[in-house]
Structure 1
Amino acid sequence: MSLKILLTMVLAALGLSLAAPAGAAPVTVTNATQFKDTSGTVVHAHGGGMLKVGGYYYWFGENRNPDNTFRAVSVYRSTDLRTWEFRNNVLTQASNPELNLANIERPKVVYNSSTRQFVMWMHKENGKDYSQARAAVATSATVDGNYTWRGSFRPLGNMSRDITLFRDDDGTGYMVSAARNNADLNVYRLTADYLGVASLVRTLWPGSSREAPALFKRGGKYFLLTSGATNWQPNQQKYATASSIAGSWTSLSNVGNSTAYGSQTAFVVAVQGTQATSYLYLGDRWAGAWNRPVNESQYVWLPLAFPTATTMTMSWFPRVSIDTATGVVAGMP
């Protein structure tokens, strides 16, 4: 008898199963609200990103103290993108002395299949001002386990603020961050283990003052969505495309309205199902815009539309229908 069959029999006797989570039913997400987890507690995943592992979407993000300093990077999981189960504070002030007083922003996680490690990159400051402008790295053997702090640094000596991660189809890792006091966006190729920077690939649109980058790939084309730099106030989001990350990028084009419907880019998640692959904009409506703590911020999630292979639009909807089984995401009036 195989080990798997034996284990299945034991689990069946206990009323458990080896099966993946059941397929999710269609759900509706209401925009410009604070989401709550399955225990009724407000979800704190601000400036965050998502990673799908098995049948679950894992949502990492900022969880801050009332004075906006770092409390934790929290992670939640869901099969349907609405029903969020709190899993862990994967990085906390107790994780390393460097985090006792800090700002940790825009945590993003990717999986390195060679090292079998989940690797988190983030923007790190000293908790008092924005003079450090450092990138930081942490790792874990499990997606929602405690992450080990690997340190912070300026990539190749460059300032590094708002940040995103991207793992290409061939396994190459990239990090994009705002540099030179947010004047530039630098695209870096990561080392094979994703723990460091191997090279500076490009500096995009020097002097254009872009931040909040979100990089994704659709139909062989790379899309980079960013915001302007206006502190907590929302502004015009812009995007560009390329056939190669290291190649030429188009000029920036507007998407959405002049304030991104009162939000700022955090991430773009691909929702792949049996009928379609949809792309969902995840945005933050920052409470700092009305002089309140970050943990009072709200979420704005909107479907992205693609009139052509290299153009993108985003319209406002008060609610969004999400079917993770079919991959169909649609705005609702």
Structure 2
Amino acid sequence: MAQRVVPGAVWRDTSGKVIQAHGGGVTPEGAYWYWFGEDRSQDLPKERRAVHVYRSRDLMTWEDRGRALEMGEPAEYVAQYGTDWQLERPKVFVAAPGSKHRYVMYVHLDAAYKAAEVGVAVADRMEGPYTLVKHFRPLGEESRDIGQFVDDDGTNYLIFEARPTKGFFIAKLSADALEVVEKTAFVPAPLEGGAVVRTGGLYFCIGSHMTGWKPNPDVYATAKSLAGPWSTFQNLAPPEMNTYGGQSAELLKVAGRDGRPDAVIFIGDIWKPQALWDSRYLWMPLQVRNGAMMLPKPEPWSIDVNTGAVKIFHTAEGVTE
């Protein structure tokens, strides 16, 4: 049977274990794609937080590479906020050649949802282990949900939601990816789960309304320049479907070849707040045509990462997963 992704199903790695990579992001390098996400395993001690990493050659089958980051609450958080802390939405950037650390992980680091910072961890190998080196508010603003974007010229950008501003920022990182150096755009929309992709000569940004763990209709906007101006937001899927139960985490582009357009994959989470370890993944190729973007009904699918060719296994073809 051909390999395929079944959105919303239990997704297991090559050893048969359930994948723990929630709120995550995918970073390509060499022959592999690396998927980093929150490890919500039940056996993880309550005082610890971890980021798990998996790698794949085809985006469909994933090999467990262990915990890339595991840590306890920063002492300064304990002193100021107590022991209610969060480490969420990890995203890994590849720094410019010659940087002190080649791989830089950004996370939403928080305590009682009052610190509202990013944490920065570094490693000399993509798979880690990563070490937290600092945490701060980027551009002096609160930062909650974060996302990553790497433009076609290789420039790294951090996306972060700043709740008091009722919008989110797209900010350029330094060449070594350790600093948030300048605001590229501010998108004045009160959204979280922000993600950006460039395809077909346009930039697309998506986000989720602020309803906590409860799904809602994700929306998207477009711009000819990353700096904007951005169009008005439109629904990514029929609004009554509430993004098919998912929430955005990243937009992953697989370059199209042999005359094919780029494939853009919606990477999202179907959260189960009472059983986070069993939260599922909503990965689905988007339909992008004539400046419009749509998340179709989730169905099993496969992809050829060498060409960007996507195949959807419609129920009419006998697929019942």
Please, what TM-score do these two structures have when normalized by structure 2? Answer: 0.87
Matches within 5 A, 1:218-233: 218-233=199-214
Measured after TM superposition, the shift of residue 65 of structure 1 is 5.4
Point out 4+ residue stretches in structure 1 off by more than 4 angstroms.
Answer: 65-70, 94-101
Q: May I ask how many residue pairs the two structures share in their alignment?
A: 301
Report if the CA contact (8 A) 1:26-1:322 is conserved. no
Contact 1:26 1:324 in 2 (8 A): no
Identity of aligned residues (%): 38
**Secondary structure of the corresponding residue to residue 30 of structure 1:** coil
What secondary structure, in the 3-state scheme, does the structure 1 residue paired with 2:5 have?
strand
What is the CA–CA distance in structure 2 between the aligned matches of 1:159 and 1:50, rounded to whole Å? 24
Q: Conserved in 2, the CA contact under 8 Å of 1:234 and 1:263?
A: yes
Residue 119 of structure 1 contacts residue 138 of structure 1 at CA under 8 Å; is this kept in 2?
A: yes
Aligned to 1:27: 3
Tell whether the 8 Å contact from 1:44 to 1:61 is kept in structure 2 after alignment: yes
The residue number in structure 2 matching 1:52 is: 28
Among 180, 184, 197, the alignment partner of 1:201 is 184
- Equivalent residue of 1:74, what SS? strand
- Residue in structure 2 matched with residue 187 of structure 1 by the alignment: 170
Does 2:247 correspond to 1:260?
Answer: no
Displacement after TM superposition at 1:97 (Å): 5.6
- Most deviating of 45-54 and 29-38: 29-38
1:121 equivalenced with 2:102 (yes/no): no
- Structure 1 position 147, deviation (Å): 1.0
Query: Structure 1 residue 98: deviation in Å?
Result: 6.8
For residues 168-195 of structure 1, give each alpha carbon's deviation from its aligned partner in whole angstroms, at most 9, with x where no partner exists: 2333321111102582112222223211
CA contact (8 A) 2:169 2:183 kept: yes
- Of 66-75 and 44-53, deviating more is 66-75
Supply the distance in 1 between the matched residues of 2:277 and 2:122 (Cα, whole angstroms). 25
The equivalent position to 1:317 in structure 2, one of 271, 281, 298, is 298
Task: Report the CA distance shift for 1:58/1:236 in structure 2 as closer, same or farther (over 3 A).
Answer: same
**From 218, 225, 228, the counterpart of 1:247:** 228
Q: Which runs of 5+ in 2 are unaligned?
A: 315-321
Q: Which residue of 2 aligns with 1:89?
A: 67
Which residue, 212, 218, 232 being the options, matches 2:193? 212
Partner of 1:15: none
Quickly say closer, same or farther: Cα 1:182–1:90, change in 2 above 3 A. Answer: farther
Q: Tell whether the 8 Å contact from 1:161 to 1:182 is kept in structure 2 after alignment.
A: no
Q: CA deviation at 1:96?
A: 6.6
Segments of 5+ residues of structure 1 without an aligned counterpart are: 1-24
Q: Assess, with a 3 A threshold, how the Cα gap between structure 1 residues 40 and 98 changes in structure 2: closer, same or farther.
A: farther
Provide the C-alpha distance between the structure 1 equivalents of 2:299 and 2:105, rounded to a whole number of angstroms.
32
Deviation string for 1:69-103 (max 9, x for gaps)? 75310000111222111112111016976799631
Asked if the contact 2:96–2:175 (Cα under 8 Å) also holds between the matched residues in 1, the reply is no
AA matched with 1:39: S
Displacement of 1:326 in angstroms is 3.1
SS at match of 1:295: helix
1:19-168 aligned within 5 A: 27-64=3-40, 66=42, 71-93=49-71, 102-114=85-97, 115=99, 117-126=102-111, 129-168=112-151
Aligned partners of 2:160 and 2:170 also within 8 Å? yes
Q: What displacement does 1:150 show? A: 1.7
Change (3 A) 1:138 1:307: same
Amino acid aligned to 2:114: S
Quickly say closer, same or farther: Cα 1:38–1:181, change in 2 above 3 A: farther
- Tell me: CA distance 1:255–1:132, structure 2 relative to 1, closer, same or farther (3 Å): same
Aligned residue identity for 2:104: V
- Partners of 1:80 and 1:27 lie apart in 2 by 9
Mean CA deviation greater in 174-183 or 210-219: 174-183
Q: CA deviation at 1:272?
A: 3.2
Using the TM superposition, give the Cα deviation of residue 46 of structure 1 relative to its aligned residue in structure 2, in angstroms.
0.4
Higher-RCO chain (CA-CA 8 Å, sequence separation at least 6): 1
Q: Which has the larger radius of gyration?
A: 1
Distance 2:250 2:292 in 1: 18
